[in-house]
Amino acid sequence: MVWNENKFLKELDYLLHLAGADGAQADGKLLYNAVSKAVVADLYADWEENRRRKTRRCGYFSAEFLIGRTIFSNLLNLGILGEVRAALATRGIAIESFEEVEDAALGNGGLGRLAACYLESAATQNIPLDGYGLRYRYGLFKQKFVDGYQKEEADDWLKWGDPWSVRKESERVRVDFADYSVYGVPYDTPVIGYKNGTVNTLRLWQSEPIDAFDFSLFDEMKGEEIAIDNFNATKITAVLYPNDNTDEGKILRLRQQYFMVSASLQDIFKKQKEAGRCLTKLDGDFVFQLNDTHPVLAIPECIRLLEREGIAFDEALGICRKLFHFTNHTIMAEALERWNGEMVKRVLPQIWEIIEKLQKTAEKEGIGDGARAIVKDGVAYMANLAVFVCGKVNGVAEIHTEILKKSTFKDWYTAYPQKFVNVTNGITPRRWMLLNNPKMSAEITARIGEGWQTDLPQIEKLKTFVTDGEFRDAFRRIKTENKRRLSAYIRRHEGVDLPENFLFDVQVKRLHEYKRQLLNALSVLYIYNGIKKGEIKNFKPTAFIFGAKAAPGYYNAKAIIKFINEIAKRVNTDLSVADKLRVVFVQNYNVSYAEKIVCAADVSEQISMAGMEASGTGNMKFMLNGTVTLGTMDGANVEICEEAGVENNYIFGARVEDIETVKKTYSPKEILEKNTRLKACVESLADGTFEDGEGMLKAVYDSLLCGKEADKYLVLYDFESYMRAKFRVNEDYGTEEFVTKSLMNMTKAGKFSADRSVREYAEKIWEL
């Protein structure tokens, strides 16, 4: 689009007039919607031109797209952020007011944020990639703490409106379940490339009733039946990941997944037929990437739709083998979904028949046995289904892909070694440096030019400035300014003051036991007790910052949140350590919070047990912003150390190759008998040290010391090594050596661009 200030202001004034508002007097919601709509109006021509291009496209199927707040990133990529800021100022409007706009929290963590990064990077790289997912009425959930416990509230993100999306009523499709049917209505959002005129599309489906209102039932005063029918339809896209601790919850997740893929494939088939294109040649026009197992039902659904068009099963399967590819994101059970056959038959009988046909086909090909069974004992193994059919299967970091080949999918790798490839994850440098750290970006650009903004490996040119005193001073100054800004935000939202001269030690990510927030929490308590007793001396002032959401039904994860909040309360109310320690668990951690945190952190904690974290992308965001990693040799930490040097990070803990041997003889109780200071920290979970009216902390204690799987993630085993690394960080902080380590990480972050990742997908997998 071509920027025209007069046209923009006229459109803005008109939209505000329609809303009965005027310039600076309008509230934030009205201003946000008016500005966004004015930009979308000018963008539409470019968007439609991109849609009409005759080129083979990739459809990226994902249950999550963690987009975050769109307005600033879209204006940045259009190259008009400064122009819009100046134009709004002429009306007395500060663009910073839009920071109150809430995130679209349509994702849970790394998987959803990665999907959003890939869409932006693909548009920036002129790669024809479109996202397909669900338009959840409510985001993941809003998190708040009450007496230290996580409480979930509805995340009503649509209360601000959704001005960046366009409802495509004429393109709705019908999705049939065994017991009822719904409409899928698409909402399209532009995905804008960085200053290049490319606009791809994110299509999110909203479930709606076939008959929203039945007059005859209403006239008979049976309005409750209408309400029930409407609820059954709309609940499919009500929330991301409904609690599946019950059969009804599991069935709802099954409906969600099928609804997403069926609506998307029906839409694509319809357009293909309208264009006079042959469905047997669908792979000439499309390729589909399945982002983990959530969208794997797309494979049997595609076969069903092809059979409905008169194409035989074997030919339909052959088409699918050319169309679909599969990304595995973690070896955790939630990413290797299994569906009870009776449940699938009840909701999707035709799909179950096709899944059984796939099992029989695998058996004919000598594949569907043992660990490679697609159906076994009446259960469908979705990861196996994906690996059997998909052309390529990829992990998301070098170490993760090797684990898939040697362990998780070992038998599959033996049969199909050519299917397995690695594509290490990446992040978009536009949002995670240009947007969130503009002053640092300006310093970089002033020294090496703009090329790094779309070709991140060029940031290595900055290496020649690592020893430059002026640049080092600028880095320190900007880091301090970012810490001051984050501190003010945390003071306003959390009521905790973090002095900017403190070391900011950060762990922000989804709350899961394998990510070992518990290890970090125990270390904070260990340090606090040590300072109080005089056993730890010369400890540089440190602020420990946590951010995470726990799944509503994940009891131990929520208990760990309670534990951390109790530690924070103890530390922050103890004036005797106020000059040494502060602890804060930020509420409702999201993309916008992350934008402030990653550029202010001094050290990033990436401390999962080795072999558990597939890749991580938070580690990359911190690295790019000049933050050292305190972590295990897990996920992309391995590649970060390869790029920036292990000497410029702080590595600890058991290695992947050690884990199996360690667990054979490991006794967590023996660890505690040898470390009485750690034992006191662990026993505080059960001895009444901390208030715990709901009795949750005892469950965490038991997970460490009781049962066959006691301390399954080696929290206590790795503790001593972790503390040595943590004390090294503290000792180095504030030194010239620490600045050098930070800058070496920044200058070697080039590999971890999502631009590189999507190019590898396009070349290795999609053949675009």
CA distances from 389 to 324, 373, 381, 414, 654 (A): 7, 13, 13, 15, 36
CA distances from 726 to 125, 317, 572, 682 (A): 39, 53, 20, 19
Count of C-beta atoms within a 10 Å radius of residue 259? 22
**Which residues, in sequence order, are bridge partners of residue 149?**
146
Is 512 tagged catalytic?
no
Q: And the tokens for 513? A: 């036991």
Cβ–Cβ under 8 Å, residues 245 and 223:
no
Is 322 tagged catalytic?
no
Among 237, 401, 454, 617, the one annotated catalytic? 617
Is 484 tagged catalytic?
no
Q: And the tokens for 761? A: 């997908």
Q: For residue 165, which of 209, 195, 206 has the smallest C-alpha distance?
A: 206
Cβ–Cβ under 8 Å, residues 522 and 678:
yes
Reduced to 3 states (helix: H, G, I; strand: E, B; else coil), residue 525 is helix
Reduced to 3 states (helix: H, G, I; strand: E, B; else coil), residue 737 is helix
Residue 682 burial (C-beta neighbours within 10 Å; 0-12, 13-18, 19+): buried
**Positive or negative CA dihedral for 616, 618, 623, 628?**
negative
Which position has the token pair 């690592």? 466
Count of C-beta atoms within a 10 Å radius of residue 148? 21
Is 617 tagged catalytic?
yes
> How far is Cα of residue 616 from the mean position of the Cα atoms in its chain?
9
Host H or E run for residue 288: strand 286-291
Among 113, 400, 431, 621, the one annotated catalytic? 621
CA distances from 356 to 344, 368, 376 (A): 11, 11, 10
Among 57, 431, 510, 759, the one annotated catalytic? 510
Reduced to 3 states (helix: H, G, I; strand: E, B; else coil), residue 64 is coil
**Which residues, in sequence order, are bridge partners of residue 545?**
506, 584
Q: For residue 205, which of 128, 276, 258 has the smallest C-alpha distance?
A: 258
Residue 569 burial (C-beta neighbours within 10 Å; 0-12, 13-18, 19+): middle
CA atoms of 430 and 445, how far apart (whole Å): 13
Among 69, 329, 430, 756, the one annotated catalytic? 329
Active site residues per annotation: 329, 509-510, 515, 617, 621
